Amino acid sequence: MDQDCTLPELIRNANYIDGVWKPSADSRYFNVTDPATGVAIGQVPDSGVVDARIAVDAAYAAFASWRKVPAKARAQIIKRWNDLVLSRTDELGELISREQGKPLAEGKGEVVYAASYIEWFGEEATRANGDVIPAAVPGRRMFAIKEPVGVVAAITPWNFPAAMIARKIAPALAAGCTVVCKPAEDTPLTSLALVALAEQAGVPRGVINIVTASRESTPEVVDAWLDDPRVRKVTFTGSTPVGKHLARRSADTLKKLSLELGGNAPFIVFEDADIEAAVEGLMVSKFRNAGQTCVCPNRVFVQAAVHDAFVNKLAERVGALKVGPFTDAMSQIGPMINERAIEKIERHVMDAVSRGAKVLVGGRRLPSIGPTYYAPTVLTKANATMTCSSEETFGPVVPITRFETEDEVIAAANDTPFGLAAYFFSQDVRRIWRVADALETGIVGVNEGALAAEAAPFGGVKDSGYGREGSVHGLDDFLHVKYVCQGQLN
Ligand code: SIN
């Protein structure tokens, strides 16, 4: 990490296994780069199968004692972790922005967001209640007891390097599970810093183990965990093809899975919507992290009667967005994570234009700012034949389709294998419930663009995966139910 880093003692260029910061078995490293410039800002171990296995050895050994630590004591450690994370909000926020590229306000906001999950699961740790079941036979007592599933493999994405670690590791610890974690190769430094704080909070050795790996070495590490029968659960956020690979490869050892996969969120503006609120909702949901968010709207449908009014207001707002590096406090849109990401955006926009879309705002790279910046873009006349309608663009592009009827737009919104989030704006209470029921997604925003909250269940249906993060359901995903029946009591 460069000289002016404000949290040098939390910058680790090592794996954390069994309570020890160590290099990979063969001492190989890979570079972590600033997405705005491509310049290396640090190095972390390029781990392989040996590191993956010793991490599981440590997690498996630690599980025997961690599961027996009383829930209240586990909760206290988790809450200390939360306090430490919050006490470093500014520095962690800067680290997130530095390695991920998001504006500084969003980097700091992500720290608070991450901490909200740690705090929540610190509280939920003491509420893994079971059931006492009325027995049909005299002299019997029947119980359903919640138990931790065991060693959890957490595989986290680059777009929210702190929040996704928090949302996966905090519930695992709360449930009494131990963890092996592989953070995204683009953003491992934030994850390592969070684990360094967990260590300071008193998480015992072996309970959290983190192994970094380059894009090339990642399959070796992850497949070692998938094949290992001691790993009882996999929690993953990332693409649908990778999620399906994890599910297939976990089948032989029948692991429990939480898969938060790709989305293709529709955003619908009905003619009875509050147009100002709809524009605001779209700005909030679409441009968070420059559109690199799995719940951000990918397809925008606007009813004919309000189409032009909505588009004009939106174009004005989007055109005014300030694009730039996190070091400029005015920046609202940062760089894309890497060249592959910006090439995909470019491909989607070019394809849309070749099929009749009109570029109203943006539609191009911004090389004068840096190689990975893309102008916030509004496209009109989008339709279902365009690649941006069927694939997640994961960038600051808003393709708008005009529609006539509610039935037509519901059919279009559901015409995708994905089902993570959907948004719509309407002021008709009957329509609100009709449409909320009809949308085939795990999350629905009604007159609201900012949906995520630690107390709410986050997750999808169809090809967007299964399992929930946050809320009471987010703890249940790390527990299984044991039925205990005691007889001969009369
Ligand atoms: C994600 O993009 O994977 C998570 C977004 C969120 O937590 O809102």
pTM of the model: 0.96
Ligand 1 geometric centre to CA of 471 (Å): 15
Nearest to 374 by CA among 317, 293, 290: 290
pLDDT at 7: 67
> What are the pLDDT digits (tens) for 245-299?
999 999 999 999 999 999 999 999 999 999 999 999 999 999 999 999 999 999 9
Mean pLDDT, residues 21-35:
97
Structure tokens at 250: 């976990």
Kindly report the protein residue whose alpha carbon is nearest to atom 6 of ligand 1.
Answer: 452
Average pLDDT over residues 219-225: 98
**DSSP code for 127:** G
Residue 58: name the closest of 198, 192, 166, 204 by CA: 204
DSSP letter for each residue of 274-328: -HHHHHHHHHHHHHGGGG--TTSEEEEEEEHHHHHHHHHHHHHHHHTPPB--TTS
With cut-offs at 50, 70 and 90, classify the pLDDT of residue 2: very low
In the block, residue with structure tokens 């001492």: 27
**pLDDT digits 0-9 by tens, 137-188:** 999 999 999 999 999 999 999 999 999 999 999 999 999 999 999 999 999 9
Cα–ligand 1 centroid distance for 424 (angstroms): 19
Q: What is the pLDDT of residue 8?
A: 76
Is the shortest distance between the CB of 294 and ligand 1 below 6 Å? yes
Pocket test for ligand 1, best of 96, 117, 160, 240 (most atoms within 8 A of CB): 160
259 CA distance to ligand 1 centroid (A)?
13
Q: What is the pLDDT of residues 77-94, one digit of tens each?
A: 999 999 999 999 999 999
